[in-house]
Amino acid sequence: MELGYISILIALISSLTSLYYYYFGIKNKSPTMLKNGEKSIYIAIAFIAFSSILLIYYFITDSFWIEYVASYSSKELPAFYKITAFWAGSNGSLLLWTLILSCYIFAYLRIERKDLLSAYVMLISMAVMTFFLFLLATVSNPFQEMGFIPSNGLGLNPLLQTPEMAVHPPTLFLGYAGSALVFSLAISGILLSDDRWVFRARKWIVFTWIWLTQGIFWGAVWAYRVLGWGGYWAWDPVENSSLLPWLTLSALMHSIMIQEARKGMKLWNILLASITFEFVILGTFITRSGIISSVHAFGQSNLTPPFMLMLVFVGIFTLIVIFARKDYIKSQDIVESVASKEATFLFNNLILVASSLTVFWGTIFPLVSEGIAGYKVTIGPPFYNQVITPLAFLLVVLLGFCIAFPWRRANSKELIRRLRLPALAFFVGASLSMAFQLKIELILALSVFMFSLTTHLQQYIQDTSKFREEYKRLSSIKILLRRRRRYGGYTAHLGLLLIFIGIAGGVYSQSYENVAMKVNEKMEFGDYVLVYRGIDFKDTRLKTSWYAHVELWKDGKLLKIMKPAIERYKSGNGEEIRRVDIFTELPKDVYIIFSGATGDTAFFDVKIDPAINLIWVGCWVLTAGGIFALIPRRVVSQFVFKVESEVKA
């Protein structure tokens, strides 16, 4: 029996042992059993880590007697991509999922207080980890032996041999695994009728949300730079499955503040935590089962039954717990006025959940149609665009009102004062957009963008002035740290606004053209001039490449010699892919795809996206807002509160 597989079996046994100790430790109120349960967890984590390191070792040493290594690596593969091949297939990615979940559990044990709430959290989290270890030990073993040693492996899919795909799966799994911990905290809190779960879950929700954001971001960058179709989001089922938990977790991140401050939305928060985890399981299932066709999926597998059972079990378990604790879940009425922050949070949640349900319906519709009509019907981008677009506009408007409205109830005079400048910005944005004769959709997008942006900037200035007066001698950075959750939220909102206007700019004002050019021929495209200079050929042991040389000129100045390429790989099935070339002139990109050549004529797809980089910048601003809000209290205490005490003294 292979050593890595033995390690997984030991981890599974240790995980089951921890469940035994935690269950009876809680039932019998035995600190000794709880301590033994914790020790069992550490053993399981150690063997999961060992099996992961061992799999990487097998890839680096070309151990092709392991079927998984032979399927996703080769002798010619660069060392870096031999490491990233760890998560190239279904079996290895499930091991990575389990490894990251074990890291979350380890971090929780080291950070949080070891009380009854934590015991329940460990019991539920370890049940989830046991599920994944069971899959690895049965139907998804990454250490399956071949029975013979092939001379070489099949190699890694060329589309995965990119830095973006080296980052995308780990960051996404960091978000996925974190949702299991959030779910465990929510269920533990309701089982104990203990509101402390809200305060304890807050940082884990934000941390998980940050990684989900980064996972989606790197996936979009990969699609844009590597797939070579000119876009970054195709409403593909696997893409959708990563967006679903992000939407519901974003809703939870806002609604949990209502429970924290006003003891409201208890049932809603439990449902959001559960649905987020359900969506994570669904996304993991869709990617690995092959049940829905996708360019991102791993293909057919035998994982459908266990994942379907897991989805059903989590749903039923959540409903049973809610019914058993229905008295505790009763919430106080929190919306005293429509013109209040509580109301905007509620509407914000409704929009995010409506968006997630829309995406969910479009994603599973092929399965529904097959069950009813006997054949799969796929829903394309037009459906999503028609439904999601108005919801996105409403959400951006709400971002502005959320900042302008106070808690509980708004004073009419104060409200008029707060909205006066944003309303002016709305009309200025609309007037300037019409003056440039933009499309009506882009006029509306720019107008609501200006409205929400102005409310945020106005609030930044007002808050800074107010807090400076309150804290006197504190510097601006210390004031920001003192109110890091507020300013982190503002910053995240600004990132979302940048993403919104970046998407709108691309959808409603991009230029696209298919062109055929002879050697030394010039072509005008927007503000640019393209000159085709011919093709270079390059042959290596890994691939054969054809590079088209295209000069990009503007105002008589050479900006870049662009080299879009066609690459044919020698390993595997001899895959042929197109490598795009991109010239960035903030905020826009010039994007060229080399489609092929005949004689002295080459064929290109050329695109100008006027605002694409606002999306990338917005994603980083969104992430920065989350990180800033997550700065630990002890860091702020050392840096700010010590100074405050000195000031008061």
Residue 409 in this model has a pLDDT that exceeds 80: no
The phi and psi torsions of 221 (rounded to 5 degrees) equal: -60, -40
The phi and psi torsions of 387 (rounded to 5 degrees) equal: -90, -45
| Lowest pLDDT segment from 25-39, 410-424, 459-473, 612-626 | 459-473
pLDDT per residue as tens digits for the range 258-282: 888 777 788 999 999 999 999 999 9
**Given pLDDT bands bounded at 50, 70 and 90, which one contains residue 9?**
very high
Residues facing 523 on adjacent strands: 530
Q: What's the rounded Cα separation, in Å, for the pair 3 and 50?
A: 10
Contact between 22 and 39 under an 8 Å Cβ cutoff? The reply is no
pLDDT per residue as tens digits for the range 486-541: 889 999 999 999 999 999 988 877 788 899 999 999 999 988 999 999 999 998 88
pLDDT per residue as tens digits for the range 350-396: 999 999 999 999 988 887 887 777 777 778 888 898 999 999 999 99
Q: What's CA 334's distance to the chain center, in Å? A: 31
Closest alpha carbon to 530 in 511, 505, 502, 558: 558
Q: What's the rounded Cα separation, in Å, for the pair 429 and 443?
A: 8
State the chain's maximal CA–CA distance in angstroms. 83
* More confident site: 613 or 634: 613
Number of CB atoms found within 10 A of residue 50's CB: 17
**What is residue 36's predicted lDDT score, i.e. its pLDDT?**
96
Which of the 8 DSSP states describes residue 160?
G
**Given pLDDT bands bounded at 50, 70 and 90, which one contains residue 468?**
low
Contact between 185 and 158 under an 8 Å Cβ cutoff? The reply is no
**Mean pLDDT across the stretch 13-35?**
96
Q: What's the rounded Cα separation, in Å, for the pair 251 and 12?
A: 34
Alpha helices in 226-340 (DSSP H): 237-262, 266-289, 304-324, 326-329
Closest alpha carbon to 239 in 260, 216, 259, 218: 216
Q: What's the rounded Cα separation, in Å, for the pair 186 and 208?
A: 14
**What is residue 646's predicted lDDT score, i.e. its pLDDT?**
47
Looking at residue 272, its amino acid is L
Residue 407 in this model has a pLDDT that exceeds 90: no
* More confident site: 297 or 215: 215
Residue 648 in this model has a pLDDT that exceeds 60: no
Across 141-202, the runs of DSSP E, i.e. the strands, are none
The phi and psi torsions of 546 (rounded to 5 degrees) equal: -120, 120
Q: What's the rounded Cα separation, in Å, for the pair 643 and 198?
A: 30
pLDDT more than 90, % of the chain: 62
The pTM score is: 0.92
* More confident site: 643 or 188: 188
The phi-psi region of residue 187 (left if phi > 0; otherwise alpha if psi is between -120 and 50; otherwise beta) is alpha
**What is residue 572's predicted lDDT score, i.e. its pLDDT?**
66
What are the residues whose beta carbons fall under 8 Å from the beta carbon of 325, sequence distance 6 or more? 190, 191, 193
Order of all β-strands in the sheet with 511-518: 511-518, 601-609, 588-598, 581-585
What are the residues whose beta carbons fall under 8 Å from the beta carbon of 41, sequence distance 6 or more? 14, 15, 18, 105, 106, 109, 122, 126
**What is residue 91's predicted lDDT score, i.e. its pLDDT?**
93
pLDDT per residue as tens digits for the range 58-84: 999 999 999 999 999 999 899 999 999
**Mean pLDDT across the stretch 241-256?**
94
Q: What's the rounded Cα separation, in Å, for the pair 156 and 543?
A: 12
Q: What is the dihedral of CA 641, 642, 643, 648, to 10 degrees?
A: 80
Residue 547 in this model has a pLDDT that exceeds 80: yes
Q: What's the rounded Cα separation, in Å, for the pair 16 and 22?
A: 10
Identify the residue whose tokens are 């503040």: 257
Sign of the Cα pseudo-torsion (257, 351, 400, 506, in order): positive
Number of CB atoms found within 10 A of residue 155's CB: 24
* More confident site: 419 or 209: 209
**Given pLDDT bands bounded at 50, 70 and 90, which one contains residue 469?**
low
Contact between 26 and 38 under an 8 Å Cβ cutoff? The reply is no
Q: What's the rounded Cα separation, in Å, for the pair 88 and 354?
A: 33
**What is residue 333's predicted lDDT score, i.e. its pLDDT?**
66
CA distances 340 to 243, 337, 426, 482, Å, are 29, 6, 21, 24
For the chain, domain boundaries: 1-157, 411-509+614-648, 512-609
343-359 burial, b for 16+ CB within 10 Å, e for fewer? bbbbbbbebbbbbbebb
Closest alpha carbon to 580 in 570, 571, 568, 590: 590
**What is residue 640's predicted lDDT score, i.e. its pLDDT?**
60
Mean model confidence pLDDT for the chain:
89
pLDDT per residue as tens digits for the range 300-311: 567 888 999 999
Residue 231 in this model has a pLDDT that exceeds 90: no
Residue 649 in this model has a pLDDT that exceeds 50: no
Residue 296 in this model has a pLDDT that exceeds 90: no
